[in-house]
Structure 1
């Protein structure tokens, strides 16, 4: 079941995300996020009128997807940045695809025009997921982040809705 996230999901979402924070370069965050910090992030997304979705199975959150404003200037109001995370150990089961499909559907229904996905490179799985949904590469920043004692590149993919 895919549904809107609630405050009650903050601990499960933080647990999924913190695996990636502490063990991968997929996110440039370097410190674990607390449940209360995650709850605040969920509320901010909702306050901005954007979706934060969770995929739940047998009362367990297995993944989540959300969108944030691309930039704060009003002319950017029809663009958003998308994010999808799936619980470690259960990737490649279609959970990310289900979440992304629902997120894109909801963003289009909200009248958004462009969705942007940032990907720390290399990351063939994330590139494949984005391109599966029609995203096209539109930018590449070299050595823009520094994590685990290495410079990291980030590519950007976009999709017109």
Structure 2
């Protein structure tokens, strides 16, 4: 693989992000969305996240996008302003190669630099790869809500993972 490069997303990345994300919608229960996202809608999502001062990152190698990760506000009420929810999606062919771990680690580092207090990851179950990623990065599973989503005729559970953000994370490198 070429050298990995992690950078902020731009609206021009929307098509490549849709190419990664839409198969998760169409063929898996990993995303609870049910209809593919249009490129224009994805560009709006990127802009909205970044307008809130939150990162939306992409990982590239050799000019190809391998995955993306971003954070959104956990809840709208003011007292929740120090908590965010993270999302990460990788091109299927890159899952298990360590790229997602590097990308997610950089997202966490940037969230810590912003002075946020905690990051929460929701994982549709079963998803051993995502559960393992969260565990490897120091998240602790704090909840599992049963049968909160329904897709492809199945009831689905969601596990919630939480990571407190510290100064050490803010100072950590991506290595």
Asked if these proteins are the same fold (TM beyond 0.5), I'd say yes
Count of residue correspondences: 161
- Deviation for aligned residue 1:107: 0.1
CA distance in 2, matches of 1:100, 1:63: 10
CA contact (8 A) 1:19 1:88 kept: no
What runs of 5+ residues in structure 1 fail to find an aligned partner?
none
1:29 and 2:33 matched: yes
Structure 2 residue aligned with 1:158:
162
Partner of 1:140: 144
Give the aligned partner of residue 61 of structure 1: 65
In the TM superposition, residue 144 of structure 1 has moved relative to its aligned partner by 0.3
Instruction: Kindly report the root-mean-square deviation, in angstroms, between the aligned alpha carbons of the 2 structures.
Output: 0.6
**Partner of 2:93: helix, strand, or coil?**
coil
- The corresponding residue for 1:17 is 21
CA–CA distance in 2 between the matches of 1:148 and 1:133?
31
How far apart in 2 are the matches of 1:12 and 1:95? Answer: 17
Given that 1:117 and 1:157 are in contact with CA atoms closer than 8 Å, whether structure 2 keeps it comes out as: yes
SS at structure 1 position matched to 2:116: coil
In the alignment, does 2:49 pair up with 1:45?
Answer: yes
What is the CA–CA distance in structure 1 between the aligned matches of 2:75 and 2:122, rounded to whole Å? Answer: 14
Q: How far is the alpha carbon of 1:149 from its aligned partner?
A: 0.5
Cα displacement (A) at 1:89: 1.8
Per-residue CA deviation, residues 29-69 of structure 1 (Å, 9 max, x unaligned), is: 01000100100000010011100000011111110000000
Whether the 8 Å CA contact 1:5–1:54 is kept in 2: the answer is yes
After superposition, give the CA deviation of every residue in 1:110-158 in whole Å (9 maximum; x if it has no partner): 0000000000011111111001111001111110000000000001010
CA distance in 2, matches of 1:122, 1:58: 32
Moved over 6 A (4+): none
Cα distance in 2 for partners of 1:158, 1:116 equals 5
